Amino acid sequence: MFDISGKVAFVTGASKGLGKVFALALGRAGAKLCILSRTETDLRQTERELKSEACDCISYIVDITDEQEVENAVAGCVEKYGRIDILVNNAATARINKPAEETSLDEWKHVIDTNINGSFICAKAVGKVMVKQKSGKIINMSSISGKIINKGVHGGSYDVSKQAIDGMTRALSSEWAQYGINVNAIAPGYFMTDPNIMFFEKDPDFYKTALELIPAGKMGQPEDLVGTLLYLASDASDYVHGAIIPVDGGYMIW
């Protein structure tokens, strides 16, 4: 049930961080890959790493807020592989840690446009392919911030964007389940990604506070998300629709 060998996976934000971990995990599990990012140097490095492990992979430099660029990448993927079986809707921008009264409208719009509008553009473009196929797995990247307002930090635009991702996941699932498409989301807690590591180094007191709120007693490592990713990408989740799965060390238990 968990076998994804030969499936075609379309991964956004794949040049670094969680997106790179996801691309490598899918490639190692036997999927063919189309990887996207705005950052060419890092994306080419990810592509080289995948190919060094004998993974079948193509890449596109894409800004996910540009609908035409996304559609071109989808068309290129279908031309190369004939279909798209998995979308990992991962690309996003980080939290702008400012109080609401100090946040400019441009800063607010940047987070909303990238995190929700960009994710919708990708889901729409890939969704058209999957509707025709009458099959597919869409995995959106939410956050514990989709359910809560994180204690000790600012950046309401980020929380709002992830809550919108949860809503979009359910909305698209309700429309596309009839076509054999599973639309679900992963909601990570605090993980040791590069942006978080830098943030924790700047504010060690916040790191201590966040750690004390995690029942597991440790921060997540990117690899801790791979099992959930492969589950949602595989036939094992065929009857799972509109779910937002927290992977947070128990943070939201309290």
* φ/ψ (deg, to 5) at 34: -120, 115
Strands (E), the chain: 8-11, 32-37, 57-61, 86-89, 136-141, 181-188, 244-247
Q: Which of 158, 207, 231, 251 is catalytic?
A: 158
* φ/ψ (deg, to 5) at 151: -75, 135
> Helices 40-52 and 17-28 sit at what angle, rounded to 10 degrees?
20
Q: Alpha carbon of 109 to those of 157, 168, 250: distances in Å? A: 8, 18, 31
Contact 138, 172 (CB under 8 A): yes
Region label for 145, one of left (φ > 0), alpha (ψ between -120 and 50) or beta (otherwise):
alpha
- Determine the Cα–Cα distance for residues 60 and 74; give it in Å rounded to an integer: 10
Q: Is 158 a catalytic residue?
A: yes
* φ/ψ (deg, to 5) at 184: -135, 175
Q: Strand 86-89 to strand 244-247: parallel, antiparallel, or no bridges (unpaired)?
A: unpaired
Nearest to 138 by CA among 23, 232, 62, 228: 232
* φ/ψ (deg, to 5) at 162: -75, -30
The pair of three-digit structure tokens given for residue 22, joined into one six-digit string: 């996801």
Which residues are known catalytic residues? 158
